[in-house]
Amino acid sequence: MTPLYYLSANEALRLFRTRQLSPVELMRAIIERAEHVEPTVNAFAEQMFEQALRAAAAAETRYRPRGEPRPLEGLPVAAKEEQHIIGHPVTDGTLLRSSYPAGETAVVLARIEAAGGILHARTTTSEFCCMPLSHTRRWGVTRNPWNPHVSAGGSSGGSAASLAAGTAMLATGSDIGGSLRAPASFTGVVGFKPPHGRNPVLPPAGLDPYFHHGPMARTVADCALLQNVMAGEDSRDPASSLPPVTIIPPHLDDVRGLRVAFSATPGDFPVDLEVRANTRAAVGALESAGAVIEEVEIAWRLDEIKQALWAHFGSGLAAELVELDRQHPNTITPYALAFARKGVQTAPHVDGETGRALESAIQGHLDAVFAHFDAFIVPTVGATAFAAGEDYTDTQLMVNGVALEHFSDASLTPAFNISSANPVIAVPSGWARNGVPTGVQVVAAKYDDTTAFRVASAIERTLGAGFAGRRTPALPT
CA 139 to mean position of chain CA atoms: 19
Give the helix ranges, DSSP H, for 22-117.
Answer: 23-41, 49-62, 107-114
Judge whether 80 counts as a catalytic residue.
yes
Active-site residue, from 8, 80, 134, 263: 80
C-alpha dihedral sign at 305, 308, 312, 313? positive
Judge whether 155 counts as a catalytic residue.
yes
Q: Is 135 left (phi over 0), alpha (psi -120 to 50) or beta?
A: beta
Judge whether 134 counts as a catalytic residue.
no
200: part of which helix (H) or strand (E)?
A: none
State how far the Cα of 467 lies from the Cα of 145, in Å rounded to an integer: 13
State how far the Cα of 278 lies from the Cα of 438, in Å rounded to an integer: 7
Q: How many CB atoms lie within 10 A of CB 10?
A: 18
Q: Could you give the 3-state DSSP secondary structure of residue 214?
A: strand
Active-site residue, from 126, 151, 155, 174: 155
Q: Could you give the 3-state DSSP secondary structure of residue 260?
A: strand
State how far the Cα of 423 lies from the Cα of 242, in Å rounded to an integer: 13
Active-site residue, from 126, 179, 185, 408: 179
Task: Give the full edge-to-edge strand order of the sheet including 118-123.
Answer: 44-47, 118-123, 76-80, 170-175, 212-217, 190-193, 424-431, 437-444, 375-379, 259-262, 292-295
**373 to 292, 293, 443: CA distances (angstroms):** 9, 9, 11
Q: Which positions are annotated as active-site residues? A: 80, 155, 179
